[in-house]
Structure 1
C-alpha cells in the first residue's frame, strides 16, 4: 500500500514512469497532511491553561481532524485503485456486440467512480481547510504557522482533487450524474475561495 511506504519509497514510486500513483493520490495525501497538522495544533492547545475558554471547541476540532486525516489517507490508495480499474475496463474484450456493451458499461462505472472519489476528497479537504482556519484563530499561537500550512495543504489538495474530477467528467455519459457533479464542484470552489481568503487574513493578523 502506498500510504504505508516510507516517504523516500513513495517519492521514488511517484517519480517513476508508471502513471499511477499520480495527482489524485497526492491530492488526497495533501489533505491528509493538512488534517494531521490541524490535529497537532489542537493537541498543542488542549489542556494549555492559556486556552481554557476554547478547550471544548478545540477538542471537537481535534476529533474531526483525526477522522478526516484518516479518511483522506485511505483515499491515497483508493484513488490509484480507481485509476487502475478504469484502465482495466478499457482492456475488456470488444469482439461481439455483447462484449462491447459490457465493456462500455464497465468503463462508465469505473470512470464515474474515479470522478466521484476525488470529488469526495475535495469535499473532505474543504472541511480540513475550515478547521485549519478556526484553529489558526483560536489555537496555540506558537503553532500558528503550522495551522496556516495545514490550511494551505488542504487548499492545494482540494484543487488537485478537482483537477482529477474535471479530467474525467467529460467521459461520463449520464447527464444527470454529470450535472450533479458540476453543481457540487461549483459549491466547493465557492466555499474554498471564501475560506482561503479568510485563512490568509487570519494568518496575517496572527503571524504577521
Structure 2
C-alpha cells in the first residue's frame, strides 16, 4: 500500500513509468498534509493560556482535522485502486455482443466510481481549507505560516482532485450523473475561491 511506503519509495514509485499512483492520489495526499498541518497548529494552541478563550473551538477543530486526515489518507490508495479498476474494465473481452455490453457497463461503473472518489476528496479538502482559515485566525500566531501552508495544500489538493473528476466525467455517458457531478464541482469551486481569498487576507494580516 502506498501509505505504508517510505517517503523515498513513494517518490520513486510516483516518478516511475506506471500511470498509478498519479495526480488523484497526490491530490488526496496534499489534502491530508494540509489537515495534518492544521492539526499541528491546534496542538500548539491547546493548553496555551494565551489562547484560553478559544480552547473549546480549537479542540473541536482538532478533532475534525484528525478525522479529515484519516479519510484523505485512505483516498491516496483508494484513488489508485479506482484507476486500476478502470484499466481492468477496458481489458475485459469484447469478442461477442454480450461481452461488449458487459465490458461497456463495467467501464461506465468504474468511470463513475473513479469520478466520485476525487469529488469526495475535493469536498474534504474544502473542509480542511475552512479549518485552516479559522486556525490561522485564532490559533497560535507563532505557527501562522504553518496554518497558511495547511490552507494552500488543501487548496491545491482540491483543484487537483477536481481535475480528476472532470477528466473522468468526459467518459461518463449518463447525463444525470454528469450534471449532478458538474453542479457539485461548481459549488466546491465557488466556496474554494471565497475561502482561498480569506486565507490570503488573514495570512497577510497575521504574517505580513
Using the size of structure 2 for normalisation, the TM-score is: 1.00
| CA–CA separation in structure 2 for the residues paired with 1:50 and 1:28 | 34
The equivalent residue for 1:180 is 180
Give the Cα–Cα distance (whole angstroms) in 2 for the partners of residues 64 and 198 of structure 1: 20
Match of 2:159 in 1: 159
Alignment partner, residue 65 of structure 1:
65
How far did residue 192 of structure 1 move?
0.1
Cα distance, 1:168 vs. partner? Answer: 0.7
Q: Secondary structure at the match of 2:47?
A: coil
* 4+ aligned runs moved over 6 Å, structure 1: none
**Paired residue for 2:124?**
124
Instruction: Determine the C-alpha separation between the residues in 1 that align with 2:112 and 2:18.
Output: 22
Deviation at 1:53?
0.3
- Alignment RMSD: 0.4
- The aligned counterpart of 1:17 is 17
Q: Distance in 2 between matches of 1:197 and 1:141?
A: 19
Matches within 5 A, 1:1-208: 1-208=1-208
Offset of residue 4 of structure 1: 1.0
What TM-score, normalized to structure 1? 1.00
Q: How many residues align?
A: 208
Q: Which runs of 5+ in 1 are unaligned?
A: none
